[in-house]
Structure 1
Amino acid sequence: MPRLRRYAAVLAIAVAFVAATASPASASIPIGQPINGISTWYNDAGYGACGTQLNAATDWLVAAPYAYWTTANPNNDPICNLSIEVTYQGNTIRVPVRDKCPSCDASHIDLSAPAFGSLANRDIGVIQVTWKFVN
């Protein structure tokens, strides 16, 4: 019986370790793979998920879908070293990932106001885009 308890304790520690080090993301970052989805825009200011100050009303940036964030501390996430290339009606822009969009599904990105405005009138609100992560 003591041996069984010892195995159970070791198993419990192993499970706790795996749970503590597991990635919260549901998908790896598909660099270079086109994604058909939607884009919205936002104009918040403050600290973005990558730990830098941003002003989405004036800066060119994008908030990437939460599904692609791979670390518990977003400031250290490799996604913060990437950009997203967005194409809408034949026009393409490239914007750095500086924030996380917690309400965006895996095909939805949230562009800053000026980045969105370079592609479409912001009054539209939502546009169908093709986008991809790029280095």
Structure 2
Amino acid sequence: MRVAKNLRILAGAPLAAAALIALTAGTANAAIPINQPMTGKATYYNDAGYGACGTQINAATQMLVAVSHTWWTTANPNNDPVCKGISVKVTYNGKTVTVPVKDQCPSCDSTHIDLSQPAFAQLAPLGQGVINGLTWQFVKAGFTGETVPLSEPVTGSTIG
């Protein structure tokens, strides 16, 4: 009888551990490597319509970026933490541009970003098509557009 009771406790332990991990995992923002430079490549696109973050975009005219599907952590991309005040700071050949994440790139691997046409044009001629060897990182944008570390509270003034 005592052995059966111990087996039931042991059998339930993995389920309890999984539940504890799920409840204490924290926000998905913690999984986004804020301020950690990556080396990768960029392409550009010029689509218009609704981006993966659920807002209307025009990649032919707006400054924005689509990041790899691997950075999304929720079933509904419109509600994903990567769409909540996360931008990408991109540096190439001494030029830097910071653009908000507004879309998902289904064909990109984790270090490949798809910049909007005007964002790409600030770094290289459009005819180049692909920028290899650039450095980029996720950054948290404040209300005034500056980048702040994730650990600092975001403050801003009211507009009026």
> What TM bracket, shorter-length normalisation?
0.7 to 0.9
1:76-91 to structure 2, matched below 5 A, reads 76-80=79-83, 81-91=85-95
Match of 2:62 among 56, 59, 63: 59
Structure 2: stretches of 5+ with no match in the other structure:
1-7, 23-27, 141-160
After TM superposition, which residue ranges in structure 1, 4 or more long, deviate above 3 angstroms?
Answer: none
Higher RCO (CA 8 Å, separation ≥ 6 residues) = 1
SS in 1 for 2:120: helix
Counterpart CA distance in 1 for 2:72 and 2:95 is 27
Measure how far apart 1:56 and its partner are: 0.2
Q: Percent identity?
A: 61
Structure 1: stretches of 5+ with no match in the other structure:
1-6
Match of 1:131 among 125, 131, 136: 136
Tell me the TM-score normalised to structure 2 length.
0.68
Counterpart CA distance in 2 for 1:31 and 1:66 is 17
Tell me the TM-score normalised to structure 1 length.
0.80
CA-to-partner distance for each residue in 1:9-68, whole Å, 9 max, x for gaps? xx9xx7xxx8xx9xxx9xx31111001000000000000000000000000000011111
1:35 aligns with 2:31: no
Q: What is the number of residues matched between the two proteins?
A: 120
* Bigger Rg, which one: 2
Counterpart CA distance in 2 for 1:73 and 1:67 is 14
Counterpart CA distance in 2 for 1:132 and 1:72 is 24
Counterpart CA distance in 1 for 2:101 and 2:125 is 22
SS in 2 for 1:119: coil
Counterpart CA distance in 1 for 2:39 and 2:130 is 13
Counterpart CA distance in 2 for 1:90 and 1:32 is 18
